[in-house]
Every structure is written in C-alpha cells, then in structure tokens.
C-alpha cells in the first residue's frame, strides 16, 4: 500500500528513527520540499561527526548517530528525542516523530510531540506501537504526508477506505472467518441527539440485529450504564457491556463487574455533588449526568467556551487524585476511574469468555464512532476489524469507515442479506 493515509499540516519538523530498509529517500525529499526540517537516526549507523549523514545528508537537516536497534533502551530513546529537538531548534508541539521502534514512540509521547506515528512493516505487529502511545501506525513512510503550512496548530486529515469500497460481497471482508460483532451505541446504532435520554435506535435496526443474532454473536459496548443501553436496544439475545466495559452481561449467565470500579462509587457520589453545585449552576446548558461508574458533563447545549472551563474545573477536582481520570468524547467531559480497563479490554474479555480469543475461525469486528472506541480499534489492530463511523478529532486506528448511522444500518442490512437472503 503506498497511497497517502494521513496528511499532517502545520508541522515544522520531524524526528525519524527508522531502519535503513524502511527509509524512503523520495519521501524525505518530498517533505524537505514542503519545508519540513528533519532529524534522522538510523539504528547502527554512526555518522562521522553528527553533521555528516553520508548519502542522507542532503535529505535531512540533522543526522544523529544511533546504536544498534536491540540496544535502544527507554533512556537512549529519550536522549535521541531530546537531541533531535535541540538540534532542530523546534518545539515538540510542532514536531512529528515517525519510528519503527516502539521505544521512540513512548519517549516522544512523554515529550508531547505533535504526533507519534509508528511504522510497522508488512507482517509486523501494530499493537506494541499503540500501547506506547502512537496516534497512528502505518506500513510505509509513503503513507505519511507532512506540510509546514495550513493551520495555526498541527492538524490532520486521514484517508480511511469506506466499507463499501472494494468488496463486491461484504463477506469477503472476513475471509473464511466467522465475524463476532461489537457495536457502540450512541452515534453508531443511534444518531446523536441533544437529549441523551432520547437516543433511540435507528429505525428498523432492531429487527435487523435480531436477525443477525440468529447466526452471529453480537455485543453492544457503550459508555452508558449497561441496563440503560440494554433498554434502548431491547433485545435479549445480545451481550451488553456498559460503562465502557466495567459491567458486562449476556445470554447463558455471562456476567462481569469490575471490582475496583465498584469500590470507587461512593467517591463518585461526592464528586457528582460538587460538579452539580459548580459547573451545572455556573454554565448555562451544561448537564451533569451520573452514570454507575462515571460522571458525564455534557456541553452540547452550552456556549462555545464551556469546554475549556469544564476541563479546567474537572482537572482541578482531579488534581492529586490518582483514582480518577478525565476522559473526553463528543461534547462530553467525563470523570471515570483510572483503571486499565476500556472498551478494547471488554472486547478481549468477551472473546475470551466465548472461547474465541485467538481463534483462527473467528474475527472480532468493532463498529464505533468516538474516541473511546479507539481503544477497541487499537486492541484489534493486528487481529480484528475496526470500523469508524463518521469522524472525531483524533487519528483513527480503524481499518474502514462508515459515513454515518444510516450507513451502519445499510452495513447491517447487507450483512444480514448476504447470509440469510442469498444463501
């Protein structure tokens, strides 16, 4: 694959740590022409004096000597990242890092680079890069286009192929494997509406899902409370995971509740009270919603400046409190337990419980629209299929895209007819 996957604008510099076989001189040349300053480190390549870079000298502004790849420790990665910024004389926030070694990604993430991009060649795993904080993982350098001009702050546009592009029969997407479906709820099975209590499922979808569930395992994974999302979907034969997977239940006695999260509920009660007294009263249109394991602050109906003020107050509330963390989504700021548990872990747990983890005969397919769904896309980056609905403000690890909730319905309709009406 050589087409451009991501275009990043308003970038000034790049730190590139890659093995020589992953270097693409024409790409470096292209970036240079776009005004990007580059610092290059190639594992095992000691330049004679850091100013000389041999054959790459004319393509990069700074050449950094680097030891062997297997010797790249956290400390060494951090030193290289610092050296790159220093020699480029650029702020981290205007610099992108691209690397085929996860340690470099981790080091850059700590320095708050504009973006960290992992380079996992064909056959290499993507997940180790995502686990270290990569915003995106690509296969070749040619998939990345960098531009100095464009915006006031670094921004991007990403090309994710549509589900309906390239498959005459959708079943081909799964190869010989049987799909296990995971759907997010809001913005995926139901259009986003101003009042979360009125987010009813897209018309006709209930029957389609019911039909599809006759042949496949289907789970709905939501940030909503489990019972809440189950009520909206209204089907008994599906698995439901609420609170981003903190509580899961399904047919045949399937059940799980995150014990640590349970213990933190009384503290959430206190915070809820505080947030209602402050944010809800101070900013018109802000709505505090208490969930079982989280507090959601909705600002969809509030003035433009609300988000900044909400984030500031929530950050103050959570300062020095390591048990909770702040999450963000579409028009929502959330207080949630800072546990290493998310939608991706919930997918893994469900696959495990169904006896399908690592199965060569089954493939997990996750469809979602929001930033919290990225945890699931990243989890499935090497073995599974992530499908993003619409877009959000971060790069996505999804493999395919559906335009909107109507296309989600179309997708489910095609799946259903591919298996039931034509065979």
Question: Interacting stretch for Mg ion, rule CB under 5 A, among 108-116, 177-185, 273-281, 403-411?
Answer: 177-185
386 contributes a contact to Mg ion by CB under 5 A: no
Of 139 and 373, nearer to Mg ion (C-beta) is 373
Q: Which of 100, 184, 186, 225 is catalytic?
A: 184
Among 186, 225, 228, 375, binds Mg ion (CB under 5 A): 186
Name residues contacting Mg ion, limited to 60-79 (CB under 5 A). Answer: none
Among 100, 184, 225, 374, binds Mg ion (CB under 5 A): 184
Catalogue the E-assigned strands of 18-123.
37-41, 62-64, 95-99, 115-119
| Longest Cα–Cα distance in the chain | 69
Of 199 and 275, nearer to Mg ion (C-beta) is 199
Please say if 184 is a catalytic residue: yes
250 contributes a contact to Mg ion by CB under 5 A: no
For the CB of residue 387, give the shortest distance to Mg ion in the complex, in Å: 12
Q: What is the C-alpha end-to-end distance of the chain, expressed in Å?
A: 33
Return the residue nearest Mg ion (CB atom): 187
Q: Which contiguous run of DSSP H or E holds residue 33?
A: helix 25-33
Of 105 and 365, nearer to Mg ion (C-beta) is 365
For the CB of residue 370, give the shortest distance to Mg ion in the complex, in Å: 4
Of 61 and 289, nearer to Mg ion (C-beta) is 289
Q: Are strands 6-9 and 155-158 parallel, antiparallel or unpaired?
A: antiparallel
242 contributes a contact to Mg ion by CB under 5 A: no
The two tokens of residue 316 are 């103050």
Q: What is the DSSP letter of 395?
A: -
Q: How many helices (DSSP H) and strands (DSSP E) are in the chain?
A: 13, 21
Of 110 and 403, nearer to Mg ion (C-beta) is 403
For the CB of residue 397, give the shortest distance to Mg ion in the complex, in Å: 16
Question: Interacting stretch for Mg ion, rule CB under 5 A, among 93-101, 243-251, 368-376, 395-403?
Answer: 368-376
The two tokens of residue 374 are 């990225």
The two tokens of residue 179 are 């799909």
Among 225, 228, 334, 370, binds Mg ion (CB under 5 A): 370
> Edge-to-edge strand order for the sheet containing 332-337?
287-290, 295-298, 332-337, 324-329
Of 120 and 218, nearer to Mg ion (C-beta) is 218
369 contributes a contact to Mg ion by CB under 5 A: yes
Q: Are strands 247-250 and 254-257 parallel, antiparallel or unpaired?
A: antiparallel
What is the rounded CA–CA span in Å between residue 243 and residue 320?
24
Question: Interacting stretch for Mg ion, rule CB under 5 A, among 44-52, 187-195, 241-249, 337-345?
Answer: 187-195
374 contributes a contact to Mg ion by CB under 5 A: no
What is the rounded CA–CA span in Å between residue 349 and residue 288?
30
For the CB of residue 374, give the shortest distance to Mg ion in the complex, in Å: 11
100 contributes a contact to Mg ion by CB under 5 A: no
- Nearest alpha-carbon partner for 256 in 290, 293, 289: 293
The two tokens of residue 161 are 């192929």
- Nearest alpha-carbon partner for 380 in 395, 396, 361, 402: 396
Which residues form the interface with Mg ion (CB under 5 A)? 184, 186-187, 369-370
Q: Which residues are catalytic?
A: 184
């Amino acid at each position: 694959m050589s087409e451009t996957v991501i275009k990043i604008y308003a970038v000034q510099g790049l730190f590139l740590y890659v093995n020589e076989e992953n270097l693409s001189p024409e790409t470096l040349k292209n970036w240079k022409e776009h005004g990007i300053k580059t610092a290059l480190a190639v594992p095992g390549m000691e330049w004679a004096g850091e100013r000389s870079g041999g054959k790459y000298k004319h393509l990069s502004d700074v050449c950094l000597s680097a030891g062997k790849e297997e010797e790249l420790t956290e400390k060494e990665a951090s030193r290289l990242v610092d050296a790159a910024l220093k020699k480029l004389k650029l702020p981290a926030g205007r610099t992108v890092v691209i690397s085929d070694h996860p340690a470099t990604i981790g080091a850059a993430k700590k320095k708050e680079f504009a973006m960290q991009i992992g380079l996992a060649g064909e056959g290499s795993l993507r997940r180790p890069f995502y686990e270290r904080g990569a915003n995106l993982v690509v296969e070749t350098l040619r998939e990345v286009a960098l531009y100095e001009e464009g915006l006031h702050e670094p921004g991007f546009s990403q090309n994710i192929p549509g589900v309906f592009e390239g498959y005459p029969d959708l079943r081909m997407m799964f190869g010989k494997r049987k799909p296990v479906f995971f759907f997010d709820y809001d913005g995926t099975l139901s259009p986003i509406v101003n009042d979360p209590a009125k987010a009813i499922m897209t018309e006709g979808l209930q029957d389609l899902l019911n039909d599809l569930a006759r042949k496949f395992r289907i789970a709905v994974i939501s940030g909503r409370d489990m019972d809440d999302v189950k009520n909206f979907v209204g089907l008994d034969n599906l698995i439901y995971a609420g609170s981003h997977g903190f509580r899961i239940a399904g047919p045949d006695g399937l059940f799980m509740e995150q014990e640590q999260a349970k213990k933190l509920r009384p503290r959430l009660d206190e915070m809820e009270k505080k947030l209602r007294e402050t944010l809800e009263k101070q900013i018109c249109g802000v709505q505090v919603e208490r969930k079982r394991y989280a507090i959601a602050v909705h600002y969809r109906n509030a003035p433009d400046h609300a988000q900044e003020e909400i984030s500031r107050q929530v950050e103050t509330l959570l300062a020095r409190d390591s048990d909770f963390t702040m999450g963000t989504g579409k028009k929502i700021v959330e207080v949630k337990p800072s546990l290493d548990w998310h939608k991706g872990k919930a997918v893994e747990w469900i696959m495990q419980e169904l006896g399908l983890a690592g199965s060569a005969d089954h493939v997990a397919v996750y469809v979602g629209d929001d930033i919290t769904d990225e945890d699931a896309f990243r989890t499935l980056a090497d073995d599974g299929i992530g499908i993003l609905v619409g877009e959000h403000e971060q790069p996505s690890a999804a493999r395919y895209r559906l335009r909107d909730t109507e296309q989600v319905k179309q997708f489910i309709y095609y799946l259903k007819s591919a298996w039931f009406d034509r065979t």
